[in-house]
Amino acid sequence: MTPAEKTAPRSPRADDDSALRTAMLQAAERLLAESTDNDIATRAVCEAVGATQPRLYRLFGDKRGLLDAVADAGFERYARHKAQLEQTADPVADLYVGWDDHMAFAMANPALYQLMFTPRPRSHSQARTRILELLGAALLRCSAVGALKVEVDQAAQLILSANVGVAFNRIAQPGLFPESLSHQARDAVFGAVLTEPATSVLEHPISDAARQLHSQLALNGSGALESEETSLLVRWLERIVKDVPRSGK
């Protein structure tokens, strides 16, 4: 962060803090995975890394801060893993892979997964929000090719909700929840937000085209317009998109 401090260890304190912080996070995640009650003791984390309790409390504030940091670290690993396997030429296929990968992460790290996605009061963890952003980026690519029939944010909320719900249900009922059910849920939600690949019949071609252009603008921008013009165009497009009449129940 600080631009100073050359290669020489002018101030080893910051490096020590950073190394200790990561060591504590790793120990906390390991202890959480090994725990029988999905809980950890700050003492155990300190003993695992050979540090004292005040150091942990100066680094993380309190236990909730430690757990928030563990959840965020879990998101970082999740994001790194996702960055490797996504981004093919077919954004819709990426979406399917993304669901299955999300489920695999949940089943491989059930305790960490619950920490990341169970609502905790006064938690400042950004894992959920960041994953929503990742999902939104993947959906934006889908929308840019006209594969999305709802707005990106709505689709992201729907998909993440379903994904979390299925993962929790599967964690709660190990064995009783076959993978086929996960795929059924996946196809159901995707069917509700994605356009049919075969059916090119668009119910609202105007708003669909507007949404596609809106996504393309968000992705690539436009070299033909000034920034003020682009921002106004974006607002117009949003009005067109929102003007679509609700399809009947």
Partner DNA sequence: GCAAATGCCGTATCATCGATCCATGACGCC
Partner DNA sequence: GGCGTCATGGATCGATGATACGGCATTTGC
> Which spans of this chain sit near its own copies (rule: CB under 8 A)?
36-38, 110, 114, 117-122, 128, 150, 154, 157-158, 160-166, 168-169, 171-173, 177, 181, 184-185, 187-189, 191-193, 249
Shortest distance in whole angstroms from residue 38 CB to DNA: 12
Q: Does the footprint of DNA cover residue 42 (CB under 7 A)?
A: yes
122: alpha, beta or left, given left = phi > 0 and alpha = psi -120 to 50?
left
What CA–CA distance (Å, rounded) separates 207 from 224? 22
In the complex, minimum distance from the CB of residue 106 to DNA, in angstroms, rounded to a whole number:
24
CA dist 153 and 135 (Å) reads 9
Stretch that binds DNA, among 42-50, 68-76, 157-165, 201-209 (CB under 7 A): 42-50
Binder to DNA among 43, 77, 124, 242 (CB under 7 A)? Answer: 43
Task: Tell me the three state secondary structure of residue 162.
Answer: helix
Q: How near is the Cβ of 160 to its own copies at its closest, in Å?
A: 7
Secondary structure class of 148 (helix, strand, coil): strand
The partner in contact with residue 14, picked from DNA, its own copies, none with C-beta cut-offs of 5 to 8 angstroms by kind, is none
Q: Which two tokens stand for residue 241?
A: 């998109």
Q: Which residues contact 204 (CB under 8 A, 6 or more apart)?
A: 244, 245
When CB distances are held under 5 to 8 angstroms depending on the partner's kind, the choice from DNA, its own copies, none that residue 41 binds is DNA
Q: How far is the CB of 117 from DNA (least distance, A)?
A: 21
# chain residues binding DNA, by CB under 7 A: 20
Per partner kind, with CB cut-offs from 5 to 8 A, the member of DNA, its own copies, none near residue 112 is none
Contact yes or no for 20/49 (Cβ under 8 A): yes
Pick what 43 binds: its own copies, DNA, none; C-beta below 5 to 8 Å, kind-dependent. Answer: DNA
* Interaction of residue 184 with DNA, rule CB under 7 A: no
Q: What is the Cβ-side half-sphere exposure of residue 5, based on CA atoms within 13 angstroms?
A: 10
Q: Quick check: 17 binds DNA (CB under 7 A)?
A: yes
Q: DSSP per residue over 132-161, as a string? A: HHHHHHHHHHHHHTT-BSS-HHHHHHHHHH
Percent of the chain as helix, strand, coil, to the nearest 5: 70, 0, 30
Closer residue to its own copies in complex, CB, 57/177: 177
Helix-then-strand count for the chain, H and E: 11, 0
Our finding on whether 18 is near DNA (CB under 7 A) is no
Q: What 3-state class would DSSP assign to 194?
A: strand
Which of 52/87 has CB closer to DNA?
A: 52
* Residues at the site binding DNA, with contacts judged by CB under 7 A: 11, 13, 16-17, 39-44, 51-55, 57-58, 62-64
